[in-house]
Amino acid sequence: MRSTKEIVLENRTITAVNALNLSGKAGEAAKILLGDDEIRALQECANMVSIKRLGYNDHGPVHMRTVAQNTVIMMGLLKEADIKTSLETEDSGNFEDSLVAALMAGCLHDVGMSVGRQDHEIHGCYIAAPIMDRLLKKLYPGDLPKRILLRSLALEGIAGHMGNRVIHSLEAGVILVADGCDMEKGRARIPMAISLGPRVGDIHKYSANSIEAVRISRGQEKPIRIEVSMSSEVGLFQVEEVLLGKIAASTAKGYIELYALLEGGEPKRYL
């Protein structure tokens, strides 16, 4: 059963897609992806492995919906600033095609966690590929070249979302940052609650638990502004060791402003 948080994220994502005034294909893609039983079962399995087996933070339905929402927001801000996607630049597709591929990557990027943490981005590619084929046949019937193109683009987003592989498309770069932006304290609440004692990697849980909010909006000098609000300086670890690294590895880096804000203090600008 979908949680209230999932439903809220689904509604926000679909609303954000519809606000872009596209042909409707991306909106249909969002509804299919967010309502698909197989995808959600994979997301739940990934979360069980992540939290119960490994003691990590959320990698399930809420996280992947959050990344999808972040992706739509950032893609929309780039469009508003007349920044062309890789498909547009290459004359191989339009903005909506790019958004469809990015939505697939956002909703499926962590399904490889259902296998395990090591190389989960690669496991995610072979798990997600047939699901993408099924979806794309509904959206682009009779257009095999377009289906192959969008599947390949979405798979790049999945393979590159950890920031440890070189990516080339702007779309994959957006996925990388959208994933890094999901660091609010709610994501760490379950492993914090079930923790049985100190262990390697706890700094990620404690730093994430101090992040109050991550806001994505229009920037002043660049198209995208990311502002991270935190209750404690330990949250700077999450910004500097996780998010900043992902932005540095992203093809979207040149379009992003990054700020960290400690309660009662002035915003600290990184980019």
> Could you read off the pLDDT of 222-254 as tens digits, one per residue?
999 999 999 998 999 999 999 999 999 999 999
pLDDT in tens, 205-217: 677 789 999 999 9
Which of 157, 180, 203 terminates a domain? The answer is: 180
| Same-domain check for residues 190 and 172 | no
What pLDDT, on a 0 to 100 scale, did the predictor assign at position 197?
55
Domain check: are 147 and 31 in the same one?
A: yes
Residues 230, 87: contact at Cβ < 8 Å? Answer: no
Number of domains making up the chain: 2
Q: Are residues 58 and 136 in the same domain?
A: yes
Mean pLDDT score of the chain: 93
Residue 254 phi, psi (nearest 5):
-65, -5
The residue out of 111, 145, 180 marking a domain boundary is: 180
Phi, psi of 189 (to 5 degrees): -65, -35
Token pair in block for residue 19: 């606000």
Per-residue confidence band for 266, with pLDDT thresholds at 50, 70 and 90: confident
214 membership: H or E segment, kind and range: strand 211-218
Which pLDDT value is given to residue 265?
Answer: 85
Domain identity same for 23 and 36: yes
Do 176 and 242 fall into the same domain? no
Examine the domain organization and report whether 171 and 191 are in the same domain.
no
- In percent, the amount of the chain with pLDDT more than 90 equals 85
Cβ proximity of 112 and 127 under 8 Å = yes
- Pick the last residue of a domain from 116, 147, 180: 180
199 — pLDDT class (breaks 50, 70, 90): low
Residues 58/47, Cβ–Cβ less than 8 Å: yes
Asked if the model's pLDDT at residue 189 lies above 60, the reply is no
Shared domain for 45 and 165, answered yes or no, is yes
- Mean pLDDT across the stretch 46-64? 93
- pLDDT over 90 at 195, yes or no: no
For residue 213, give its domain range: 185-269
> Would you say residue 1 has pLDDT above 90?
no
Confidence label for 57 from pLDDT (cuts 50, 70 and 90): confident
CA–CA separation, 46 vs 120, rounded Å? Answer: 10
| Global pTM value | 0.92
pLDDT value for 202 = 58
Asked if 30 and 112 sit in the same domain, the reply is: yes
Query: Per-residue pLDDT averaged across 146-169, rounded?
Result: 98
pLDDT at 192: 47
pLDDT tens digits along 129-157: 999 999 999 999 999 999 999 999 999 99
Whether the per-residue pLDDT at 21 is higher than 90: the answer is yes
- Are residue 202 and residue 159 in the same domain, yes or no? no
The verdict on 69 and 164 lying in the same domain is: yes
Per-residue confidence (pLDDT) for residue 261, from 0 to 100:
94
- Give the pLDDT of residue 186: 56
Q: Is 120 exposed, middle or buried (0-12, 13-18, 19+ CB in 10 A)?
A: buried
Cα(94)–Cα(86) distance, rounded to whole angstroms? 9
Q: Coil, helix or strand for 160?
A: coil
Residue % of the chain over a pLDDT of 70: 92
pLDDT in tens, 92-141: 999 999 999 999 999 999 999 999 999 999 999 999 999 999 999 999 99
Residues 22 and 134 occupy one common structural domain:
yes
Q: Do 46 and 67 fall within a single domain?
A: yes
